[in-house]
Amino acid sequence: MNLENITLISFGYFEKELLEMIVNEVEQEFSIPVKTREGFLALSEYYDAARKQYNGNELLKVIESRFATETTKTLGLFNVDLYIPILTYIFGQAFLNGRSGIASIYRLSNERYGIEKDQNTFVNRIRKEVIHELGHTFGLIHCSNPTCVMRSSTYVEDIDQKSHRLCSKCRISLEENED
């Protein structure tokens, strides 16, 4: 497959510059041009009133069926709280070695945890989460290296601990997967 680009599609309200602030690093990690655009979905269809959250499995399926293409890796970005039936929440998920993934910025801001707003930390977390989910679409699994972006993160503090870069082992895997 000849990949043309990575497409980041935002759904719902996003600050205009937010995606532009992470494009460079995503391009650097995967050496593929990154495009951003807005997408439209009736999110209420994916809302679970009992949980007051949005179904991540269904959203991933809709990104795959309606937005993904053979020549792109497509990541849907949301600003709502995502869940999957078995877990209380998720930051994001993707098809391993597939075409698409999703991520949410909902739980990535300091304010969500009653801490003072820090835009820099917020953008860093989004950057890491986007690169992490895209990494899965390139066939990368979770890494045990504490600084690698592919390290599994279940809390924002975990995201803060790691860098936005792939470790050398994951980079080699990425290159092998691309071959």
Partner 1 sequence: MAKKISILVVDDEESVRDSLFNWFIEDGYRVECAENATKALLLLESESFDIILADIKMPGMDGLEMLKRIKSLRKDSIVIIMTAFATVDTAVQALKDGAFDYVTKPFDPDDLSHLIRNASKQISLIEENEILKEKVVSLENIEDLIGNSEAMQRVLQEIESVAQSNASVIITGESGTGKELVARAIHANSPRKFFPMVSVHCGALSESLLESELFGHEKGAFTGAVYNRKGRFEMADSGTIFLDEIATISPKMQIELLRVLETKSFVRVGGNKEITSDFRVICATNRDLKTMVEKGTFREDLFYRLNVVNINVPPLRERIEDIPLLVEYFIKKYCASMNRPPMTIEVAALKRLEEFPFPGNIRELENMIERAIVVGNGKKISLKDLPLGKTLVNTTVESLDDLEKNHINQILNKYNWNISVSAKALKVDRVTLYNKIRKYDLKPSK
The whole-angstrom separation of Cα 124 and Cα 5 is 22
Q: Which stretch binds partner 1 (CB under 8 A): 23-31, 34-42, 90-98, 115-123?
A: 90-98
Q: How far apart are CA 39 and CA 51, in angstroms?
A: 25
Task: Indicate which single residue of 73, 99, 125, 136 sits in contact with partner 1 (rule: CB under 8 A).
Answer: 136
Task: Provide φ and ψ at 63, rounded to 5°.
Answer: -65, -45
Q: Are 99 and 68 in contact (CB under 8 A)?
A: yes
Q: CB of 57: closest distance to partner 1 in angstroms?
A: 6
- Selected catalytic residue, list 133, 175, 176, 178: 133
SS3 126: helix
The secondary structure element, H or E, covering residue 129 is helix 119-137
Binding residue for partner 1, selected from 20, 87, 111, 118, defined by CB under 8 A: 87
Note whether 6 binds partner 1 by CB under 8 A. no
Residue 168 is a binding residue for partner 1 (CB under 8 A) = no
Cβ nearer to partner 1, comparing 14 with 89: 89
29 is catalytic: no
Question: Token match 């600003």: residue?
Answer: 79
Structure tokens at 145: 């290296």
93-112: which residues touch partner 1 (CB under 8 A)?
93-96
Q: Which residues bind partner 1 (CB under 8 A)?
A: 57, 83-90, 93-96, 136, 141-142, 152, 154-155
